């Protein structure tokens, strides 16, 4: 069997993004987020999930997109990153999908004036393009401090 990747597809500001399902712990509705003073600018705060305090990153802030209050379809994708649970706030989660390696391309080269540092590739499926998130870079907020 060829190289197949399972992804969680989510949307953000009208664009589709994908997270490798191996990193996803669970997907939850937005809980009350407690702001934390002096936290990184892209951090929404923390949530209490069944007694665990989990930091939540607002991807809109991280990517410099227009801010928007979470809506009915907003979700927090809980990912396991380097042994820590971290929440990623997205506009919605649409599906779990499988993509073969032949449908995944490298992001455009840096000469294209596109900031590709947060992406590992671009997935193509039925005419759709999915920006595949590089969780290591998206969640490493120390680089922005």
Structural domains of the chain sorted by starting position, each given as residue range(s) with its CATH number in brackets: 4-144 (2.40.50.180)
Residue 111 contacts residue 62 (beta carbons within 8 Å): no
Which position has the higher pLDDT, 145 or 11?
11
Question: pLDDT digit string (tens) for 86-144?
Answer: 999 999 999 999 999 899 998 876 555 556 788 999 999 888 999 999 999 898 877 55
pTM equals: 0.90
pLDDT at 114: 58
Question: pLDDT digit string (tens) for 7-32?
Answer: 999 999 999 999 999 999 999 999 99
Burial of 47 (0-12, 13-18, 19+ CB in 10 A): buried
């Amino acid at each position: 069997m060829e190289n197949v990747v399972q992804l969680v597809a989510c949307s953000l500001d009208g664009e589709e993004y994908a997270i490798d399902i191996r990193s996803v712990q669970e997907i939850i509705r937005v809980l009350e987020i407690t702001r934390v003073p002096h936290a990184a600018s892209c951090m929404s705060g923390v949530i209490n999930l069944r007694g665990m305090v989990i930091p939540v990153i607002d991807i809109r802030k991280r990517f410099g997109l227009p801010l928007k209050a979470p809506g009915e379809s907003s979700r927090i994708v809980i990912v396991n990153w380097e042994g820590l649970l971290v929440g990623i706030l997205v506009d919605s989660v649409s599906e779990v999908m499988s993509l073969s390696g032949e449908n995944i391309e490298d992001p455009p080269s840096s000469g294209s004036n596109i900031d590709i540092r947060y992406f590992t590739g671009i997935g193509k499926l039925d005419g759709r393009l999915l920006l595949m998130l590089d969780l290591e870079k998206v969640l490493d907020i120390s680089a922005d401090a």
